[in-house]
Structure 1
């Protein structure tokens, strides 16, 4: 099933495809400086974004439902080899991935990591920043650790299985990007699905593929807060608030919780009902909270379940502030592209 391509220019540059994709399912989005090889398969809600840097991908990419490929602004591009299979809800972020790699469902590969040819990252694993994964090896865990060597036949079998799983996923994707209330300079990407009561303050942004459910209680997104691609937010009866200058990373799940100002909730994290995250809190990528957990401010939290692993410092505070500024600039550029 191949549909029309959803290609979006960034600062005047459109993505370049070597051939028509084998599939481009509803809700997908490809943005900016993307070079994509032949015969790509893009699942429903799949996102490839090259705004603050470039993305180069080889032939025969197979990308599952709600998966995300992105960059690190002016720091790391993303380079993906040929015949790479990426599962549903996985994130490949600002890293280098070799040929014939399999990234299974819900896994996250973080900034500066290098994944060798024929490596397999098992479902739900987190590859930490600047890690090196050796060719032809199986990795699993949070952080991902080497389990064993793989034969060529097993790598091929796991790739075929991952592709079959991608193709078996639901092809439907609702795009309803209309908030209840929004400041004039806020931004909601066109492949989002917002339901119920969702309000955006000045400079706030909600990115491609996000699903926000404010039917049971309102969702309030603060000034310069950004909710990144394919994240899912579901409010409870008391509502959900995200503070000013807070970043919710790609493919994060927030359920019936609250997040303060100047926080970062890292890529692939899962925040359980009743969780309270104080102002000035850094939640590392792939973290998982327990129901009702309180993450106190001024700390770095990580793990499953999340626990304090460090203290906030000036570098992390500056990084959080810079992300808010960068995402406001991304939103302005995309507004200009649409209007222009």
Structure 2
């Protein structure tokens, strides 16, 4: 859904060009740089930056990265030979103005708006980081847990209704991305 648009930057760095599935929605104002892979029906919303010049960033199918978010990674360093890629699974919800840096988000993870997830941190499937939280380096939110605060700490386990709400959110963003793709193609 890019179609040679001039309001999006797709930049090759170190011989690595972003690989974006044809069905993904990339909103105007986005900057996608280097070793980035974006899966089917994913959506990258207005004014996001995804930069992977020192490692890789992978964004799975139907995942959405909402407006103003930044996704980066870290290269190899002493004691961490592989560095910290950012790996985001399928059906992940990432809120507005989120910073993801060298972390792993499993399938169906949720990151609330204005949150930060740092190097080596992990959010497992059906788990949630609350809005405004900071998940510090190396911390792990187990499946179906809610963490909040800065630094983030365990709050409670998520019930079935909360998990279902996240899945409904994913479906909403897939549909909404198609509407925005059509609207921006006409602009």
Which segments of 5 or more consecutive residues in structure 2 lack a partner in the other structure? 1-6, 12-16, 76-83
Q: Deviation per CA, 1:175-215: give whole Å up to 9, x if none.
A: 51567112221111120111111111111011001111111
What is aligned with 1:27?
A: none
CA distance in 1, matches of 2:124, 2:53: 25
Within the candidate set 201, 208, 229, 2:67 is matched to: 229
CA distance in 1, matches of 2:38, 2:27: 13
What is aligned with 2:46?
A: 208
State the aligned residue count: 167
Within the candidate set 221, 245, 263, 2:109 is matched to: 263
Give yes or no for the alignment of 1:300 onto 2:146: yes
Provide the secondary structure at the position in 1 that maps to 2:135: coil
CA distance in 2, matches of 1:324, 1:277: 17
Mapped contact 1:243–1:260 kept (Cα < 8 A): yes
TM-score, normalised by the number of residues in structure 2: 0.84
Measured at CA, do residues 321 and 177 of structure 1 come closer, stay the same or move farther in structure 2, by a change above 3 Å?
farther
Which segments of 5 or more consecutive residues in structure 1 lack a partner in the other structure? 1-173
Within the candidate set 242, 251, 263, 2:88 is matched to: 242
CA distance in 1, matches of 2:112, 2:183: 28
CA distance in 2, matches of 1:298, 1:322: 16
CA distance in 2, matches of 1:209, 1:290: 25
CA distance in 1, matches of 2:32, 2:142: 29
Provide the secondary structure at the position in 1 that maps to 2:179: helix
Give yes or no for the alignment of 1:272 onto 2:118: yes
What is aligned with 1:93?
A: none
CA distance in 1, matches of 2:56, 2:21: 16
Query: Bigger radius of gyration, 1 or 2?
Result: 1
Instruction: Please report how far the alpha carbon of residue 326 of structure 1 lies from its aligned counterpart in structure 2 after TM superposition.
Output: 0.9
CA distance in 2, matches of 1:336, 1:272: 35
Question: Cα RMSD between the aligned structures?
Answer: 1.6
CA distance in 2, matches of 1:197, 1:231: 18
CA distance in 1, matches of 2:131, 2:172: 19
